[in-house]
């Protein structure tokens, strides 16, 4: 059983990144993240890796919610609010709008790993558990996505290899 202080710390530390992670698939990430935390509290014993478990539950819930969103959008004429990845218009010289557009154009598997790694701070092992793949596959997706973003945004690699 999880202690109340541990639970509050987990919500404070991981909640914002989980919201961003869920936002990839649905327009109501708060509901999905809240549901994941409620499922965690209801468990008789905590999972082996609580953080990876939360990402897996949020991922599955967000995908389901996204499918429901798509069905609802087909029935409604109103458009959904746009997903925001960056709060500020530009970060450290990065054109946030261009970065968001480039991130959206990535395959969902690559985008998912990049968001989990950069904004969630997850290890490749945790990402693998959440995404249902191996750690090496998660790393390959991350590398491919970062390379594609650098190429599209015209950002050179900060640590180019001497052989490059």
Q: What is the pTM of this model?
A: 0.60
Nearest to 21 by CA among 127, 153, 94: 127
Tokens of 45: 């014993």
- Per residue in 25-71, pLDDT (tens digit) is 998 999 999 999 999 999 998 899 999 999 999 999 999 999 988 88
Domains, the chain, in order of start with CATH, read: 1-77 (1.10.1740), 90-156 (1.10.10.10)
Residue 95: other Cβ atoms inside 10 A = 14
- Cβ burial of 51 (10 Å; 0-12, 13-18, 19+) is buried
């Amino acid at each position: 059983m999880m202690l109340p202080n541990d639970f509050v710390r987990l919500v404070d530390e991981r909640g914002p990144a989980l919201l961003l992670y869920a936002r990839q698939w649905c327009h109501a990430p708060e509901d999905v993240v809240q549901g994941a935390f409620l499922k965690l509290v209801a468990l008789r014993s905590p999972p082996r890796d609580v953080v990876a478990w939360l990402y897996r539950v949020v991922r599955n819930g967000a995908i389901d919610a996204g499918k429901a969103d798509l069905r609802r959008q087909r029935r409604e004429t109103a458009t959904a609010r746009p997903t925001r990845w960056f709060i500020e218009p530009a970060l450290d010289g990065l054109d946030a709008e261009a970065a968001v557009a480039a991130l959206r154009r990535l395959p969902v598997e690559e985008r998912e790993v990049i968001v989990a790694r950069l904004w969630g701070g997850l290890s490749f092992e945790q990402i693998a558990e959440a995404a249902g793949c191996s750690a090496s596959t998660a790393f390959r997706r991350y590398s491919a996505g970062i390379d594609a973003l650098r190429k599209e945004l015209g950002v050179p690699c900060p640590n180019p290899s001497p052989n490059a």
